[in-house]
Every structure is written in C-alpha cells, then in structure tokens.
Amino acid sequence: MQVFINPGHALNGNPDPGACGYGLRESDVAARIGVIVEERLRAAGVETYLLQSDDLYSVPDVANDWGADLFVSIHCNAFNGVAKGTETCVYRIGTQGSALGEAVQERLISEIGTVDRGIKERPGLCVLRRTDMPAILVETAFIDEITDNAALRDRQEAFAKAIADGICDYAGLNAVAPPPNTRLISPNGEPYEQNDIDYLLAQGYTLADALSFLDTTDKYSASDIMAAAAYADSRVGSQGYGNNGCTAWVRDFLLHANHMFGRLMQDGSQGNLMWVPNIMDWAKENGLWKEPKEGGAMGDICLLETNYCPSDGPDHVVIACGDGQYWGNSSSRNRIVKSSIAGDYGAENVWGYVATGTGIGKTVQGKSTRTAAEIVGDAGSTSYVNLAPNGAAYEENDIKYLLGHGYAIEDAIALLSKEPKYTQKCRIAPNGKPYEQNDIDYLLSQGYTEDAAIAFLATADKYLR
C-alpha cells in the first residue's frame, strides 16, 4: 500500500501560506499534521510519499508517477469567522475516493468532535481531478473561527491520528501508534524541563504537541539561530576552513547560535563530534535525529553522502537554511558558500538532519547539476573513498566485493586505483557519472567516432540529469 500525503499550500508558507487566523497559518498546520500522518501510516506498514508544494499541477503528476494507491491532501478551511466544522472533498460521490473520504470523515468527527459538514463533491479541484488513484482533500477545520482554531492549534496530533485511522479503515489495515516521541533537546539546544512538560500534559496536550508548543516559547526557542544565520550570510565568499573543514564550519555556526551542540563539538566531552558519522550516531542516541523527509529547518545540520560509498555512512555536513539551501565549507574553493542542497549534492544524497534549528523545514528535491569530481572535491576527503585516478567515482559494488574478501577499505581502494576501469580516461555524462565503456564500444562498432558517440549518449535518458 502506497499513500501520497500532500499538506496544502507552500512549504514554510512562502509565497502562499494559505488561510490564516489567530496566529496560525494553514501551511504550517497542514505540514505538522502531514508529518504525523506519515509517521502513523509507516508504523502500520504503509509506504508513504509526503510533498508540500503550491504547484498544484506538479503534485498530482508526482503522485501518479510514483504509483500511489491513495492520495490525501490536508488543508484548513476559512470563510467568515463564524462557519465551523470538518468536511472532506472528493471528485465524485459514489467512487472509491468517496469511500475513502467517508472513512476519514467519520474518524475525524468521532475522534475530534468538530461539526460534521459531510462529504463534498469538488470535481474542479486540481488534486482530485488530475490524480489517477482514489483521492481526497480534507478540510480539517476553520482556521478563522475561534473554537476550530483552538483545535487546530492544540490537537494537531489528534487530527493526524484520525486521518491515519480513516485511511487504515478504508484499506483494511490495523492502525498502529508510532514509537513515542523521544526528543529530549529543545531548539535552543537545552533539555526541556520535566515540570514544563508535565504541566502541559495535565492540560490535555499529547507529548508531541506539548513539545511543539514549548518550542515556540522564549525559554526554548532557537532565537539565536537567526543571529547565526546573519553571521553565515556575512561569511559567504570569505575564506573557508580548508580540506575537511565542514565540521569546523558547523561547529562555529552553532557556537554563534549559542547552541549546546556546538559546545559539545568544541569541548569533546561526548566523544569526537568533529567526525561526521559520530554526529549522526550521537543525534540518534539523544533524540535529535530527523529523517530526510522531515526536511531541514534553518540551523539544522544536514548530513550528506558525497564520496559515492554509502556503506561508510555520511561523510559531509552543512547547515540547512530552511528553504532548500545551505551554508557550508567548500574544500575545493576554500570558501564559505551558500547554495542549493539538491543542486550541489542531489536529494538522494541527503542522509538526514540533526535538529539544531528552528522547527519544520523544507524537504529537498532534485538532482545534482555537478560532476562527481566537483561533489567530492567540494566536500573534501572525509574517508578513504575518493575519486579514482581517471576522475570517476569508485563503484560501491566493487568496494563491497573486495571488503567481502577480507580487504581493508584503504587496501581495496589502492587495488582498484590500478585497474583499467579506474585508470583509463573517462568522460563524465550530464548526470555526473562516467559513460559506460560498453555503450561507447557499441557505438564505435556502428561507425561512430568517439566524440560522436559521446555526443549521442549525452542525449540518452540513461545519462541525462
């Protein structure tokens, strides 16, 4: 079962936050509910794809191309400040989409207790009209009505649970609660005080919603992240930290934010957190880890795979800007740079984030526009794996084969670096990978010159970005 989740409007509310009321924005509420829906569905064994975008035509196209079985868009309503309640929009009454909508609507009304506005037929909505699978658009409640607004502010986890339960009801799955929230550290890097959590729990908050509320208070907010961001912008283009300087840059950014993690990187009290894999391990052990689909907020550490050997874990770190860009140390240029994560490294190479930043961030999408040599050179060599003598990246299956036969990784690289595959001149395709010799040889056998063969292969889907 594959479910596509589409929180409404633009990620981070820019340029379109959707409906607003009493300090809430539709885009933010939908994003938070969508993340929790995804967590609950994954716990039930459902494969998910979460995408928040204001490009209404691309969203259904992505869902169709992915092969989703169900499509669920999450929104908040608004009208005149008086209207209230929950409704679920479908393309046509009597369809499978309508049956899905009825299951979700029933759960929302029974679990949240909002006014039941029923199932609405809305064939004009792009995300319902252009999707190939059963699709619904959930209007959770009215953000401009004071009682509905309070529910949207304080009961986001309950809304998410009801939506996920309805999807499971429709699909005949057993709803499963995800593991409890184990996050211990607030955005400003300090631990939450238990009495603050207990007070909100006594007021009826779930643990997740209590932590989300505390994140917005002066006591726990990441206000100094903004000062660090201004510092980072002032450093763009200035001298960097040399080869392997990525962790030194991250440390100094977090020190400017007065963040606890920066101090731990500096003092070494938690082990060597200047080594990228150790950063990931510490974050996971201490409740600061975020998966790639959660997105990188401003000030989060983004961990990347850049040496084309995923088996050795992440090997490069930058600071996420919160909008898909990053501040980082460029080893090849010895400069502090600000650029696109996807454009420089590719979304597939985002390993995850350390939650040192301001909250919910943007999910990175897109392919790198740079060659393998540029990617590896920009990051610096943070493990034994680097580019081969001919400028190509060593293939992981070649490395794994030798590791499986008892070679140490440095010995495996030394051996591979002498092989013709990695010593002969290679040409890099538009997707940043070398052309395969057998493809070139085939075209040469058909009478192509080498240059003509390369030009032809550059237009093939296999080698395009």
Contact 308, 394 (CB under 8 A): yes
Task: Please name which of 393, 391, 374, 397 lies closest in space to residue 383, comparing C-alpha atoms.
Answer: 393
Q: What CA–CA distance (Å, rounded) separates 114 from 334? A: 57
Question: What length does the chain have?
Answer: 465
Q: pLDDT value at position 429? A: 73
CA 4 to chain centre: 15
Q: Residue 308 has which token pair?
A: 């084309």
Residue with tokens 């309508």: 98
Q: What CA–CA distance (Å, rounded) separates 359 from 208? A: 13
Q: What CA–CA distance (Å, rounded) separates 257 from 228? A: 5
Q: pLDDT value at position 383? A: 46
CA 385 to chain centre: 26
Task: Please name which of 18, 44, 52, 46 lies closest in space to residue 361, comparing C-alpha atoms.
Answer: 52
The domains of the chain, with CATH numbers, are 2-171 (3.40.630.40), 180-220 (no CATH), 223-379 (3.90.1720.10), 396-463 (no CATH)
**Low-confidence residues of the chain, pLDDT below 70?**
178-185, 187-190, 216, 218, 221-223, 311, 359-360, 380-387, 391-394, 396, 409-410, 424-427, 432-433, 465
Statement: the pTM of the whole predicted model exceeds 0.75: no
Q: Residue 8 has which token pair?
A: 């409404």
In order of 377, 419, 430, the CA distances from 412 in angstroms are 21, 11, 28
Q: What CA–CA distance (Å, rounded) separates 140 from 30? A: 9
Residue with tokens 């990525």: 246
Preceding omega of 15 cis (within 30 degrees of 0): yes
